[in-house]
């Protein structure tokens, strides 16, 4: 049986990389106002922040799911 969850099997890193590829840091920073997207952004620093910050992670996951439709 296949999962209908678009996040199924995706790591946070994969999601972040796809979003950066799709939108770029600048656009992501304007959509989700968090410093790790605005000031000197990197995958590594963003992952560190998002793993400790559930509300920010949820926004990133929601943006990812929206970007698929």
* Structural domains in the chain, sorted by start: 12-68 (1.10.720.30)
pLDDT digits (tens, 9 = 90+) for 5-27: 899 999 999 999 999 999 999 99
6, 64 Cβ separation under 8 angstroms: yes
CA distances from 37 to 1, 9, 10, 16, 21 (A): 36, 24, 20, 11, 13
29, 37 Cβ separation under 8 angstroms: yes
pLDDT digits (tens, 9 = 90+) for 23-50: 999 999 999 999 999 999 999 999 999 9
């Amino acid at each position: 049986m296949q999962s209908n969850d678009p996040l199924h099997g995706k790591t946070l890193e994969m999601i972040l990389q796809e979003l950066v590829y799709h939108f770029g840091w600048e656009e992501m920073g304007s959509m989700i106002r968090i410093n790790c997207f605005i000031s000197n952004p990197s995958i590594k620093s963003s992952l560190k922040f998002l793993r400790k910050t559930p509300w920010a992670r949820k926004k990133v996951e929601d943006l990812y799911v929206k970007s698929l439709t």
